[in-house]
Amino acid sequence: MNHICLVEDEEKVAAFISKGLQEHDFLVTHAGDGLSAIDLISAQSFDLIILDLMLPDINGVDLCRQIRRDNSKVPILMLTALDRVDDKVNGLQAGADDYLVKPFHFSELLARIGALLRRFKPDNQKEEGLLTFSDLTLNIFTKTAERANAEIMLTTKEYHLLELFMRNPNKTLSRDYIAEKVWDIQFDTGTNFIDVYVNYLRKKIEKGSQAKLIHTVIGMGYILKENKAV
């Protein structure tokens, strides 16, 4: 499941794109303005960014330059109603990898996203459909996991939880974030179901290995990393 950051201030447009992408098995996180986008992109790993050119607080071209300064590899697809050649050139020169003019056919958006994802393969994806971290491997096509070549049997939720960790290695994931992305709900501080599922997953991936990978960050959440707990 590829994780896309959608930066779009028009709520109806954002809802339309988000729903369509989710129906095609993409994970979508939406930012309604440039400042929110900066916070999201600095805190999380994304496979692709869809960036509207006309934002209420930061010009999309300037935001694109800022993103590109901090992240030279993430593919950026610009969406805009501006169709002049100069506008397209400015966007591409700012660091965008592709440019799509509104209104557009959703099938074209999907095709362009697919092309960009094929061109820009994430560093932790040794081959298409395979996520790796340390000696842990997750195949997103067959939905199977292995550690040191030993298969790990996972439930559906455990699989999605592990995929979330492996797409965000070395980053602390809050319980709120995990609940939203894996269960699509707001986290209830009166329950401990996130901790229960993380412990289930932790026991399965650490069985037979002395090296711990999922660590608790006290008061904050959990992190997938190789060294000792934070």
pLDDT tens, residue by residue, 4-28: 999 999 999 999 999 999 999 899 9
Q: Which residues are CB-neighbours of 194 under 8 A, at least 6 positions away?
A: 175, 178, 179, 187
Residue 128: band (very low, low, confident or very high) from pLDDT cuts 50, 70, 90: low
Give CA–CA dist 200/182, Å, rounded.
15
pLDDT average, residue stretch 176-191: 78
Poorest-confidence range of 55-69, 107-121, 157-171, 194-208?
Answer: 107-121
Query: For residue 219, is pLDDT > 70?
Result: yes
| Beta strands, E only, 68-155 | 76-80, 98-101, 130-133, 136-139, 144-147, 150-152
- Whether the pTM exceeds 0.75: the reply is no
Expressed in angstroms, the distance from the first to the final Cα of the chain is 28
Query: For residue 218, is pLDDT > 80?
Result: yes
Percent of the chain with pLDDT strictly greater than 70: 93
For residue 188, CA distances in Å to 1, 167, 193, 201 come to 25, 24, 9, 20
Query: For residue 123, is pLDDT > 60?
Result: no
Q: Which domains does the chain have, with CATH numbers?
A: 3-119 (3.40.50.2300), 130-224 (1.10.10.10)
Average pLDDT score over the chain: 87
- Per-residue pLDDT tens digits for 52-96: 988 999 988 999 999 988 877 889 999 988 777 887 788 888 899
Poorest-confidence range of 140-149, 155-164, 220-229?
Answer: 220-229
Instruction: Note the pLDDT of residue 192.
Output: 87
- Looking at residue 138, the DSSP 8-state letter turns out to be E
Residue 7: HSE in the Cβ half-sphere, 13 Å Cα cutoff: 32
* Residue 50 β-bridge partners: 6, 77
Instruction: Note the pLDDT of residue 122.
Output: 53
Instruction: Note the pLDDT of residue 164.
Output: 93
Residue 121: band (very low, low, confident or very high) from pLDDT cuts 50, 70, 90: low
Give CA–CA dist 152/104, Å, rounded.
43
Percent of the chain with pLDDT strictly greater than 90: 50
Instruction: Note the pLDDT of residue 118.
Output: 80
Signed CA dihedral, 114, 115, 119, 120: sign only: negative
